[in-house]
Amino acid sequence: MRVLVADDHSLFRDGVVSLLEAAGFEVVGQVGDGLAAVEAAVELRPDLVLMDITMPKLGGLEALRRMRDEAPEVQVVMLTVSDQDSDLLASIRFGAKGFIHKSLSAQEFLEMISGLERGEAAMSRKTAARLIAGLGSEPAPRLDDRPRLTPRETELLELVANGLSNKAIAQALSVTENTVKYHIRNILQKLGAQNRTEAVAHALRAGLFKAGR
């Protein structure tokens, strides 16, 4: 995976770069402000941009929005010291594939980055719970506007909500992992979600099933 690192704190940025390279990732660039991050993403077309949410010249959220317009194929994960739910919700709505707190251990950080290649959102369970709570507390859509999932898709999404992996879901439903992945792709498309966590939040808000069932 080719990675661009964008953070205005050079010491932290250098540490992330060293960690990624030691784990076998290819770091194609590093920048110190949001404007440079957008320009580098467009020019270098990395697989992933790791970007601080608070940066000079152009804030991380605005940089994220521009990247989605100018380099939509590039995955973006926000790095932050913020515990503000508003930052988390805005990041996901603007298309971020994850939201990583800088206090995480190196092992946790690398596991989340590796999870992106499996289609997982790069965020801790605690952060995912905050996201689900935040999105789930929004007003429910009208009945006519609710997404239409098949019974199988709803059943599968409930298993996702309960924290099961693709392998565990496949075993529970007596299907292959490829079939699970196929259903998840369809679910994300129907719900307009960026990742599994956001899909669960949308489904809960729409009343497709209840948490904890």
Strands (E), 57-115: 75-80, 98-101
pTM confidence score: 0.64
Q: Is the pLDDT of residue 56 over 50?
A: yes
Per-residue pLDDT, averaged over 200-213, amounts to 67
Q: Is the pLDDT of residue 144 over 50?
A: no
Residue 82 DSSP symbol: -
| Residue 209: band (very low, low, confident or very high) from pLDDT cuts 50, 70, 90 | low
pLDDT of residue 143: 40
Q: Tokens standing for 120?
A: 């997982």
pLDDT of residue 24: 93
pLDDT of residue 146: 54
Q: How far is CA 180 from CA 71, 151, 190, 199, 208, in A?
A: 28, 14, 15, 15, 19
Between 55 and 206, the more confident residue is 55
Compute the mean pLDDT over every residue in the chain, rounded to the nearest whole number.
83
Q: Tokens standing for 91?
A: 């990041």
b/e per residue 104-132 (b: at least 16 CB within 10 A): beeeebbebbeebeeebbbbbeebbebbb
Q: Is the pLDDT of residue 142 over 60?
A: no
Question: Which domains does the chain possess?
Answer: 2-123 (3.40.50.2300), 142-205 (1.10.10.10)
Residues 6+ apart with CB under 8 A from 160: 169, 184, 196, 199, 200
pLDDT of residue 37: 95
Name residue 58's beta-bridge partners.
Answer: none
pLDDT of residue 86: 74
